[in-house]
Structure 1
Amino acid sequence: MHSAMSALRIGQIKLSPGPVQARFELNKKYIMSLTPMNLLRSFYLEAGLWSYSGNGGTTAASTTSMDGPEQWHWGWESPTCELRGHIMGHWLSAAARIYAQTEDMLVKAKADHIVGELAKCQEANGGEWLAAFPQTYMHRIADGKYVWAPHYTVHKLLMGLHEMYAIAGNLQALEIMKGIAAWFFRWTGRFSREQLDELLDLETGGMLEAWADLYGITGSEEHLELIRRYDRRRFFDALLDGQDVLTNKHANTQIPEILGAAKVYEVTGDERYRSIVEAFWRCAVTARGYLCSGGGDDGELWMPAGEMSARLGAGQEHCVNYNMMRLAHILLRWTGDAAYGDYWERRFYNGVLAHQHGENGRISYFLGLGAGSTKTWGSETGHFWCCHGTLMQANASYEPMIYMQEESGLAVCQWIPSTVSFKQGGAEISIRLEQDGQHGVYPMNNWSVAGMTSITRVDIPPIPAHRPDALVYKLTVSANEDSRFSLRLRMPWWLREGAVIRVNGTPQPGICSPFAFYEIERMWSSGDTVDVELPKGLTAEPLPGDPAAVAFMDGPVVLAGLVGEERRLIGEATDPGSMLTPDRERNHGWWTFGSYRTIRQERGFRLIPLFEVKDEEYTVYFPVEQAGGQQTGA
Structure 2
Amino acid sequence: MGWTRRGALGAGIALGAVPPFALPAAGAPSAATPFPLSQVRLRPSIFLTSVQANQRYLLSLDANRLLHNFHAGAGLPTKGEVYGGWESRGIAGHSLGHYLSALSLIYAQTGDQQFRDRAAYIVAELKAIQRKQGDGYAGGTTVERDGKTVDGKVVYEELRKREIRSTGFSLNEGWVPLYTYHKVMAGVLDAHRHAGLAEGLAVAIGLGTYLGTILEGLSDVQVQDILRTEHGGLTESYAELYTRTGNRRWLTLAERLRHHAIVDPLRDARDDLAGHHANTQIPKIVGEARLHELTGDTDHARVARSFWTIVTRDHSYVIGGNSDHEHFGEPRKLAQRLDQQTCEACNSYNMLRLTRHLYGWTGDARYFDFYERAHLNHIMSQQHPDTGMFTYFTALAPGMGRVHSSPTEDFWCCVGSGMESHSKHGESIYWKRGDAVAINLYYASTLDAPEAKLDIDTQFPLGDTVRIAVRTAPRTLALRVPGWCTAPLLQVNGRTAGVRDGAYLLLTGLKAGDQIALSLPMPVRVEAMPDDPRLVAFLSGPLVLAADMGAGDGRSEGPDPALVTDRAEPVLAAAGGLHRYRLGGQGKPGDLTLRPFFAQHDNRTAVYFRRFGTAEWPTAQLAWARASQERAALAARTVDVIRLGEQQPEVDHAFADSGNSAAVSHVADRSRNVNIGYFEFDLAVAPGPLTLQVEYGGGQRNKDFRISVDGTPLAREQLTGDVTAARNIRTYTLPPETTRGKSKIRVRFDSDTWQGVEVYTVRTMRSETI
- TM (norm. structure 1) is 0.85
Q: Structure 1 residue aligned with 2:581, among 576, 596, 608?
A: 596
Q: Structure 2 residue aligned with 1:410, among 437, 440, 462?
A: 437
Offset of 1:138 from its aligned partner? Answer: 2.6
Structure-1 residue corresponding to 2:136: 128
Question: Structure 1 residue 615 and structure 2 residue 627: aligned?
Answer: no
Q: Structure 2 residue aligned with 1:177, among 184, 204, 227?
A: 204
CA contact (8 A) 1:152 1:204 kept: yes
CA contact (8 A) 1:540 1:574 kept: no
Aligned pairs for 1:150-229 (under 5 A) are: 150-229=177-256
Question: Structure 1 residue 138 and structure 2 residue 123: aligned?
Answer: no
Return 125-134 or 337-346, whichever deviates more: 125-134
Deviations 1:288-345 (A, max 9, x none): 1532111231121113221100111211000001100111111111111111101011
Offset of 1:413 from its aligned partner? Answer: 0.3
Deviations 1:577-609 (A, max 9, x none): 3xx3233x3xxxxx5x53322211451222221
For structure 2, list consecutive stretches of 5 or more residues without a partner in the other structure: 1-28, 142-151, 166-171, 550-555, 619-770
Structure-1 residue corresponding to 2:469: 476
**1:357–1:267 CA distance, 2 compared to 1 (3 A):** same
Structure-2 residue corresponding to 1:538: 524
SS of residue matched to 1:195: helix
* Separation in 2, partners of 1:614, 1:509: 39
- TM (norm. structure 2) is 0.70
* Separation in 2, partners of 1:434, 1:494: 21
* Separation in 2, partners of 1:399, 1:574: 39
Q: Structure 2 residue aligned with 1:434, among 437, 457, 465?
A: 457
CA contact (8 A) 1:471 1:535 kept: yes
Question: Structure 1 residue 581 and structure 2 residue 570: aligned?
Answer: no
CA contact (8 A) 2:107 2:195 kept: yes
Offset of 1:139 from its aligned partner? Answer: 4.2
* Separation in 1, partners of 2:488, 2:35: 28
Which amino acid is the alignment partner of residue 477 of structure 2?
L
Offset of 1:385 from its aligned partner? Answer: 0.3
**1:95–1:226 CA distance, 2 compared to 1 (3 A):** same
Structure-2 residue corresponding to 1:307: 333
* Separation in 2, partners of 1:524, 1:22: 32
Aligned pairs for 1:266-281 (under 5 A) are: 266-281=293-308
Structure-1 residue corresponding to 2:85: 75
SS of residue matched to 1:43: helix
Structure-2 residue corresponding to 1:568: 562
* Separation in 1, partners of 2:569, 2:335: 22
SS of residue matched to 2:520: strand
Deviations 1:241-292 (A, max 9, x none): 2321212211111100011111122223322211221121232224x15321
SS of residue matched to 1:326: helix
Aligned pairs for 1:485-500 (under 5 A) are: 485-496=475-486, 498-500=487-489
Which amino acid is the alignment partner of residue 567 of structure 1?
P
Structure-1 residue corresponding to 2:317: 291
* Separation in 2, partners of 1:354, 1:177: 33
Offset of 1:629 from its aligned partner? Answer: 3.2
* Separation in 1, partners of 2:186, 2:260: 22
Structure-1 residue corresponding to 2:538: 552
Structure-1 residue corresponding to 2:669: none
CA contact (8 A) 1:322 1:394 kept: yes
* Separation in 2, partners of 1:115, 1:556: 40
Which amino acid is the alignment partner of residue 581 of structure 2?
Y
Which amino acid is the alignment partner of residue 563 of structure 2?
L
Return 214-223 or 155-164, whichever deviates more: 214-223
SS of residue matched to 1:611: coil
Offset of 1:100 from its aligned partner? Answer: 1.3
CA contact (8 A) 2:322 2:348 kept: no
Aligned pairs for 1:223-242 (under 5 A) are: 223-242=250-269
**What is the aligned length?**
561
* Separation in 2, partners of 1:402, 1:5: 12
Offset of 1:42 from its aligned partner? Answer: 1.2
State which structure, 1 or 2, has the greater radius of gyration over its C-alpha atoms: 2
CA contact (8 A) 1:540 1:552 kept: yes
**1:140–1:365 CA distance, 2 compared to 1 (3 A):** farther
Deviations 1:196-216 (A, max 9, x none): 111112111100000000011
CA contact (8 A) 1:539 1:576 kept: no
Aligned pairs for 1:320-399 (under 5 A) are: 320-399=347-426
Structure-2 residue corresponding to 1:467: none
**Structure showing greater relative contact order (alpha-carbon pairs closer than 8 Å, 6 or more residues apart):** 1
Q: Structure 2 residue aligned with 1:98, among 106, 113, 116?
A: 106
CA contact (8 A) 1:246 1:283 kept: no
* Separation in 2, partners of 1:135, 1:16: 45
Which amino acid is the alignment partner of residue 368 of structure 1?
A
CA contact (8 A) 1:140 1:147 kept: no
Which amino acid is the alignment partner of residue 519 of structure 2?
E
Which amino acid is the alignment partner of residue 485 of structure 1?
R
* Separation in 1, partners of 2:120, 2:176: 27
CA contact (8 A) 1:358 1:612 kept: no
Offset of 1:350 from its aligned partner? Answer: 1.1
Structure-2 residue corresponding to 1:462: none
CA contact (8 A) 1:573 1:624 kept: no
Return 152-161 or 538-547, whichever deviates more: 538-547
* Separation in 1, partners of 2:568, 2:430: 34
Which amino acid is the alignment partner of residue 221 of structure 1?
R
Q: Structure 2 residue aligned with 1:318, among 345, 351, 355?
A: 345
Identity, % of aligned positions: 30
Offset of 1:574 from its aligned partner? Answer: 5.0
The structure in which a higher percent of residues are strand is 2
Question: Structure 1 residue 605 and structure 2 residue 626: aligned?
Answer: no
Which amino acid is the alignment partner of residue 433 of structure 1?
I
CA contact (8 A) 1:165 1:174 kept: yes
Which amino acid is the alignment partner of residue 143 of structure 1?
I
**1:123–1:501 CA distance, 2 compared to 1 (3 A):** same
Deviations 1:202-238 (A, max 9, x none): 1111000000000111111321221132122232112
Aligned pairs for 1:106-125 (under 5 A) are: 106-125=114-133
* Separation in 1, partners of 2:349, 2:264: 25
* Separation in 1, partners of 2:39, 2:205: 29
* Separation in 2, partners of 1:204, 1:325: 19
* Separation in 2, partners of 1:544, 1:351: 19
* Separation in 1, partners of 2:245, 2:454: 35
CA contact (8 A) 1:15 1:417 kept: yes
SS of residue matched to 1:20: helix
Structure-2 residue corresponding to 1:588: none
**1:512–1:408 CA distance, 2 compared to 1 (3 A):** closer
